[in-house]
Chain A
Amino acid sequence: MEEENLDNKDLIRWIKGEMTKQENDQFEAQERLDDLKFVLDDVSNWSLPSMDIDAGLEDLKNKKESENKTKVIPLLRVLQYAAALILPFAIYYGFSLFNSKTVTIIADGNSQLSHYLPDSSLVVLNPNSSISYHSGKYKTSRSLDLNGEAYFDVREGENFDVISTTGTVEVLGTQFQIKDLDHLFRVNCFNGKVKVKVNEDSAVLLASQGIEYRKGDEHLSAIKMVNYHWEKGYFSYSAISLKDIVGDLNNSYNVEIVLPPQYQDLKFSGKISMRSLNDALEGLFTTMQIPYTLNSDNTVTFR
């Protein structure tokens, strides 16, 4: 009860040293502040290890330089190639531009779709995803628009850009995967090197690195790579929360499984079949010993 009597305003005036000497002494005695005052003075002398400012600045300098490099080198390379290659190719393909068209590939709600691009690069589209590109322009500058989720195995060659609603992925290497949903943009690089741009932020991913951007974030953040082998018919996870896994299932099977809060943060490692929802649920929840029932309308209830 006494706590409530203590006037916050007075306490703040006391600690700021705004009281008169008389007021101060009276207040301290009345509120038994003697010990507290002693402790506060003591804590004021506590400290944390001091930092090595020069070493820190040096470290920053290196980090700043390594960021600059990724910006400079591709530009130089592009200029060299432009001079050496693009001109003759552009003249050659210029003719074919006249009789080319926009190609759109759509994977519907239930199945995956593989598609070979004109340069024999492979795209595997997840359900509910689509790509489109201009068949003529594609030959001179490999660029396509993506909506949804897809896996890419890119042939060697010049730049290969995937433009999605959230960001752009510039391929400097070969195998990678993009997931572009309303709230989440995620890129996993399996092999080679890709460059990801969202707004003004960019990052270069090397093999087995991943990056994520959630709606409302200011920046890209690095993630532990999630090994989705859905292009091979299964998901493979390593210590990933059930919440994220169920998100993948919802997306892939067009269902809306709502996971009870107590299970959301459990971690799962292993493979889950993509053949059917039934198989996937059995693989996941039986392993985690979570009782569930798959209803005929594809909803799931937990006991």
Chain B
Amino acid sequence: MSNSVCEEENYNKLYSRDVEKLRNYIYYKCGDLDEANDLVQEAFIRLWNKCKEVLFEKATPFLYTVAQRLFIDKVRKDKVVLNFQKTQSESINKEDPHYLLQTAEFKSKIETAISDLPDGQREVFLMNRIDKKTFKDIAELLGISQTAVENRMSKALIKLRTKIEEFKTYNI
């Protein structure tokens, strides 16, 4: 029983390990950071209330499921607009073949293109890129098959490639 979620120490460990990625996940869904911060706390309270029933190993998928339900209850936005802290190199060499891709303007276009992806593709894409989760992990957290995760990812990649080409062609 040393791994019970009801043990303060285990619970806190779960929190420290999962809270940020879970918050990010909710953010990818709703694009509202305050809401995401609130919901993630709520999800952990639910976990505490159910700590006797949820195995330590299953706590993370439990949290994602709860967060998903809370999200459906509370937030439903028509359009998701995401904002990230982006890397910005100080000086960009105009001769660089990737010059255009490094401009702030281009990055913000990519950000919009990601925001505009369908929910499922956006979540998978960002969990993989930003939270560095493997497709296998994502499948487990979202309760879907790994093939489904990979399908979403490849669709997202193909869309992004098309967008990038559009941006470059019309040189916007």
Q: Do A and B come from one complex?
A: yes
Q: Which of B16, B101, B150 contacts A38 (CB 8 A)?
A: B101
Which residues of chain A from 44 to 80 have a CB within 8 Å of any chain B CB? 44-51, 53, 56-57, 59-60, 63-64, 67
Tell me whether chain B's interface is mostly helix, strand or loop, or mixed: helix
Residues from chain B with Cβ under 8 Å of A16 in the complex? 135
Known: A43-B130, A47-B84, A48-B85. A15 touches B153 (CB 8 A): yes
Residues from chain B with Cβ under 8 Å of A36 in the complex? 157, 160-161, 164
Residue on B nearest A41 in the bound complex, by CB: B129
Is A258 among interface residues, defined by CB-CB distance under 8 A? no
Is B94 among interface residues, defined by CB-CB distance under 8 A? no
User: B41–A39 contact, CB under 8 A?
Assistant: no
Could you pull out 6 A-B pairs where Cβ atoms are within 8 angstroms? A32-B161, A35-B101, A42-B101, A43-B114, A46-B130, A64-B48
A203 to chain B, nearest CB (A): 11
Other 8 A-B pairs with CB < 8 A, given A50-B20, A56-B41: A15-B153, A38-B101, A39-B110, A42-B86, A42-B110, A46-B85, A48-B24, A53-B20
Is A221 among interface residues, defined by CB-CB distance under 8 A? yes
User: B84–A46 contact, CB under 8 A?
Assistant: yes
A40 to B19, CA, bound (A): 24
A31 to B135, CA, bound (A): 22
User: B101–A39 contact, CB under 8 A?
Assistant: yes
Q: Mark A5-34, 1 if CB is under 8 A from B, else 0.
A: 010100110011000000000000001110
A255 to B146, CA, bound (A): 48
- B interface residues with partner A (beta carbon < 8 Å): 12, 15-16, 19-20, 23-24, 27, 33, 37, 41, 44-46, 48-49, 69, 73, 84-87, 98, 101-102, 107, 110, 114, 129-130, 132, 135, 150-151, 153-154, 157-158, 160-162, 164-165, 168
A56 to B41, CA, bound (A): 7
Residues from chain B with Cβ under 8 Å of A297 in the complex? none
Residue on A nearest B12 in the bound complex, by CB: A57
Is A256 among interface residues, defined by CB-CB distance under 8 A? no
A281 to chain B, nearest CB (A): 29
Residues from chain B with Cβ under 8 Å of A64 in the complex? 45, 48
Q: Mark A213-238, 1 if CB is under 8 A from B, else 0.
A: 00000110100000000000000000
A119 to chain B, nearest CB (A): 35
A3 to B159, CA, bound (A): 9
User: A44–B130 contact, CB under 8 A?
Assistant: yes
User: B130–A47 contact, CB under 8 A?
Assistant: yes
User: B101–A11 contact, CB under 8 A?
Assistant: no
Known: A35-B164, A35-B168, A219-B46. A48 touches B157 (CB 8 A): no
User: B87–A3 contact, CB under 8 A?
Assistant: no
User: B150–A8 contact, CB under 8 A?
Assistant: yes
Residues from chain B with Cβ under 8 Å of A219 in the complex? 46
Known: A48-B33, A59-B41. A42 touches B157 (CB 8 A): no
Residues from chain A with Cβ under 8 Å of B15 in the complex? 53, 56-57, 60
Residue on B nearest A51 in the bound complex, by CB: B20
A38 to B87, CA, bound (A): 13
